[in-house]
Amino acid sequence: MIFEGFEAYRRAGFSPRVAIIGAGPAGTTIARKLAQANIPVVVFEAGKDDYDEVSQGFYAGKVIGDPYFDLDVTRLRYQGGSSNHWAGWCRALDAVDFEPKPWVPDTGWPIRRDAIEPYLEETREILDLVPFKPDRPLSEDIRWVQLIKSPAVRFLEKYGAELAASPNIALVRDTYVSDLQGNGTQITGAHVWSNNAPHGVFHAPFFVVATGGLENSRLLLWSNQRANGGVVPQSEALGRYWMEHPHYQAGNAIIPKPEAFETDDVQEAFFSPSWAAMERAKILNFGIRLIEQPYHGVKGLISSLACSAPGTAEWAANEIDNNLRCAAQLHVAWEMAPVATNRIELSRTERDRAGVPRIELHWQKSEQERRTVLESMRLFGNTLARTDLGRVRLADWLRNNEAYPEDAELGGNHHMGGTRMGTDPAKSVVDADCKVHGMANLFVGGSSVFPTSGQANPTTTLVALACRLSEHLKALVA
């Protein structure tokens, strides 16, 4: 059932067991699975069924630190959430991403990869993915990995009709949960803003916050402030340890035999490090995206190598006579260290139309990230050279230790952390079951629970975690 506003929903007399705040990939997945188990759920979607500039304006905020996207651009506020501008790249976090890295403080999950394994097949069906191929080593340091580009499932388009037809789902659009009420042990209600006006307090036995990797922290920070600590009673880590995947072109490569790598249908290949390489170099996980260029790009690259790397230029010139076929751009995306000072705060001066403070996002890349991108290129370049598969040239900004380019991709629009999962409430917000520490009926869905980010795009993992949370809720609520 779909309701265009809270008043219409209230008149219907629907009685849910679980209230889900947010109709993006996590919220929609949880709602569908609970409904299939005959558990009635209400889903509050702050936006409507299409983009609206007024609604989108609620997401405006401020970034303090490194250059980043405008906050009202990097996510979407209507049904389906940011799946509506998702590019579709999919890969689950590696098993090593769940493990602590002794050389990086505060890394590791309280669960291991095998905790999400039972849900990956279902996740593949949800995201319309073909089966993943196993990784293949190029050397002891670098492995070929597969990222799959799904048809970029829009959750509104794929699942909207199912939600509308389900007797166990009430989807309430244009309805913004502005804050939660709590007494330090459970959520007792939620203030609702709908159709541009306050609509009082809503009650339900269980609540799931699934508003996105920035908004989850914002909602809980504001709720906790309003409730004098009654929503997140142990809040030291709330909003902290926020992460992105920085994205930059870090170099080029000359590839004599591009058929040596398996590329996708747009001639791209992906590579990541082995655990041994990360441990030896004391770096974070990374992904290299090799984008093939046509032959005419090779000569220009050889010319640019003539001064900076004459040996490589000579090798490349000789290879031209051996049917050298392509050059490639090398883009790197990498894991950020979880640092408490990278955080989401509430503005002291700016509020949205419902009176909720806007976000101030503090984020800064550290020397650990700089070393990771530099070492990623060195490891990849050494692998290509040792196997005679190609040669790598570093981008000038990286080779000369210059500032990160401000006209680059900057990041992946991957918002992780802020309500991280863990066993220590001083450094985490939710436990291994995504339940807020100390609260009996409050859960969090989405990538904000990631304690560490790995290098893979987060959607596959966050949907698998949503399936896992759904199973936990089914046992708890039934």
Share of the chain above pLDDT 70, in %: 93
Tokens of 271: 């590579």
Distances (CA, A) of 447 to 219, 322, 355, 450, 451: 15, 48, 26, 5, 9
Enumerate domains of the chain plus CATH numbers.
2-243+338-366+410-477 (3.50.50.60)
Give the pLDDT of residue 109: 98
- CA distances (Å), 399 to each of 330, 346, 396, 419, 429, in order? 14, 38, 5, 36, 39
Integer Cα distance of 411 and 430 in angstroms: 26
Give residue-wise pLDDT tens across range 278-321. 999 999 999 999 998 765 555 555 545 444 455 554 555 555 54
Q: What is the pLDDT of residue 258?
A: 75
- DSSP letters, 327-348, are EEEEEEEEPPP--TTSEEEEEE
358 in helix, strand or coil?
Answer: strand
Ranges under pLDDT 70 in the chain: 294-326
Tell me the pTM.
Answer: 0.92
For residue 158, what are its two tokens? 């794929």
Quote the pLDDT of residue 294.
64
DSSP state of 132: P
Q: What is the predicted pLDDT for the residue at 382?
A: 96
Give the pLDDT confidence of 335-383 residue by residue, as tens digits: 999 999 999 999 999 999 999 999 999 999 999 999 999 999 999 999 9
What local confidence, expressed as pLDDT, does residue 406 receive? Answer: 87
Mean of pLDDT over the chain: 92
CA distance 18 to 40: 7
CB of 241 closer than 8 Å to CB of 474: no
Q: What is the pLDDT of residue 300?
A: 56
Task: Please list, in sequence order, all residues whose beta carbon lies within 8 angstroms of the beta carbon of residue 68, skipping any fewer than 6 positions away.
Answer: 74, 244, 361, 363, 410, 411
Task: Give the whole-angstrom CA distance, residue 117 versus residue 49.
Answer: 33
Question: Three-class SS of residue 396?
Answer: helix
pLDDT of residue 304: 53
What's the confidence (pLDDT) of residue 306?
Answer: 42
Q: Are strands 2-3 and 169-172 parallel, antiparallel or unpaired?
A: parallel
Residues 6+ apart with CB under 8 A from 325: 255, 256, 257, 258, 295
How would you list the strands of the sheet with 18-21, edge to edge? 2-3, 169-172, 41-44, 18-21, 206-209, 442-444
DSSP string, 203-238: --SEEEE-S-TTHHHHHHHHHHHHTTTSSSSS-TTT
